[in-house]
Structure formats: structure tokens, C-alpha cells
Amino acid sequence: MTSPLRVSAAVADALADGRPVVALESTIISHGLPRPRNLEAAREFEEILRSRGVTAATIAVLDGVPRIGLDAEGVERIASEDMAKASVRDLPILSAKRISGATTVAATAYLASKAGVRVFATGGLGGVHRGAGQTFDESADLSALAISPVAVVSAGVKSVLDIGATLERLETLSVPVIGYRTTNFPSFWLRDSGHTIDWSVDSAAEIAEVMHSQDALGHGQGIVVANPIPLDQQWDPDEHDRVLAQAFAAAEAAGVHGKAVTPFLLGFIVDASGGKSLEVNLDIARNNVRLAADIAIAWSERASTRE
């Protein structure tokens, strides 16, 4: 069978030459940011990579075809069209129906790994939802990481989730979690969730070494690289806690349940914070893209040294 993926010429050439490539998700653009700010952000994230000599591989499904790397028109489409939010389970349906979709962390990691892209930058991971003991609500990001050998740079998981349970699930799935210059697991808008992790690294080169060791062991899982937002950029913790409590109370009062809870909470938080949470989101994404670029460069250099 021919591959269902369409890898852009720029990404294919970079992979063939052993040059650094970083995957970027499209859901953050289509669903996570308002228009026209989302298009500006998409272009900015790609430019951060290009300025460091790294090829950007923004991933989306366009007209049923998973695209690994988008041209300018493709980036504009994910920013302007109303697209489905596509996780891994949605990919065959989108393909069969020739429908476009913006890829979640799960789908982006899965497709990146299939294309041979080893580093992926996002904002925050999905995880185990609060109350999952009754609802069984858990993001597919976790199960996708268990089968996708990609280093995913994120600022932990959003504080609306059950962070402790998320870390337990990652352990059960044998997904390594590494703090970048920290053993405090971040909670997206804040540097410290109150949960610690066992391992930290001080450089992108160390992460590349872990990736190499993982390959040598035949360990097919991904790696979570937890990259806390700088202290001067994090959301004020007191304001964060106040707005978060308001958001949960509003969701309860509105009777919001199931998969609608997280979008409701995040939308409420943006409004209640006067857009502050959105600005922190963008700083988080920028920081993660920069670190992912460093890791991709270190991975490329390590590969060339082995040859």
C-alpha cells in the first residue's frame, strides 16, 4: 500500500539529509487561539524554528490527507477554516470522508512518529481529568505517547486536570518524564504543580542522549520533556487559583460534563482572566518551540557524529 501521509518536500529533504525537524500541532491554532491571532502565532512558531536552522513540520489533515509540513496556504487554512478536532481515532474517518481536521497532541505525535520526525513542541499535554474514577475521562494524548517514539516538549499538563493521576498513568504506560532543569512538574500556566518527577536534564544534548538510549533499548514509547515557563512569565498564582475555582464552579452550575468540560473551563478562564491566560499560553508555546529546536539540533548532531 502507498503511504497515506503526505510529507512536504522541505520536511522530506531535511529528514533525508539528517537535518533538524520539529513537529507542531494544528489544534492550538484552529481551536486554542482566536482569529486572527492564531495565524500570527502559527507563522511565528514556524519562524522561530527557521531562524535556528530547523525545519518546521506543522501537522494537519487537509481534505482527508495527513500532511507533515504545511505550505503557507495550508497554514492559512488551519487558521481560518472551521475544522474538526482530530485525535488518532478520527484519522481513518477523516481520510475516508476526505474531511479536514486540526490534529491534537495525540494525532500530531502519532503522525510525526510515522513520518520519522522525532521532536514535537506543544503547549501542554492532555491527561487524566478530575473525577476520572467515575467518568473514565482520560486524554488520548497519554495512550498515543505510549506508541509514538517522539520527544514531546510541553509545560506539563493544564491545571484543570488531575496532574497526580496523569503522572501515574504515564508511569503505567512506561513513558519517561524528564524535567528540563527541574524536578518540579509544571502545570502549564504555573512552574510548579506541587508534584515532583524523578529525573531532570540540564541540556538538549542530554535529551538527545536519552532518545538514543531509548532507541537502543527498543523502547517504543515517547518521552515527555517538562519545560516550565520562566518565572517572570508565569501567571500570578493567586489569580490563577481564584479564576480556576470560578471556572469549576461555573461548569458545575451549568451542568457541563464529559468531554465538554475542558473546552468550557479553558474558555471561561480566558474570559475571566481578561485574556491574561491567553498571553501566558503564547509565551509557553514560544518557550517550548525554542527548546524543541535545541533538542532537534542536538539529535541531528548526535546522529551525524555516529555516522
Q: In 98-180, which residue ranges form alpha helices assigned H by DSSP?
A: 105-115, 132-135, 140-145, 163-172
8 A C-beta contact, residue 108 and residue 120: yes
- Angle at CA of residue 31, ends 29 and 34, nearest 5°: 75
Whole-number Å distance between alpha carbons of 235 and 245: 15
Catalytic option among 158, 239, 259, 307: 158
HSE-CB at 274 with a 13 A cutoff on CA atoms is 2
Strands 55-62, 65-68: parallel, antiparallel or unpaired by DSSP? antiparallel
> Shortest CA distance to 5 belongs to which of 112, 100, 109?
112
C-alpha cell at 177: 518524564
C-alpha cell belonging to residue 153: 516538549
Q: Dihedral of the CA atoms 124, 195, 113, 19 (nearest 10)?
A: 80
Please say if 252 is a catalytic residue.
Answer: no
Cell of 274: 481578561
Report the Cα 265 to chain-centroid distance in Å.
19
For residues 118 and 150, the answer to whether their CB atoms sit within 8 Å is yes
Is 141 annotated in some ligand binding site? yes
| 276 annotated binding-site participant | no
For helices 261-272 and 276-306, give the axis angle rounded to 10 degrees: 120
Candidates 25, 97, 301, 307; catalytic one? 25
Please confirm, yes or no, whether 25 is among the known catalytic residues. yes
Annotated binding residue 85:
yes
Write down the residue that cell numbers 518540579 correspond to. 184
Could you tell me which residues are annotated as the binding site for Mn(2+)? Answer: 137
Could you tell me which residues are annotated as the binding site? Answer: 85, 105, 137, 139-141
Active site amino acids: 25, 158
Could you tell me which residues are annotated as the binding site for substrate? Answer: 85, 105, 139-141
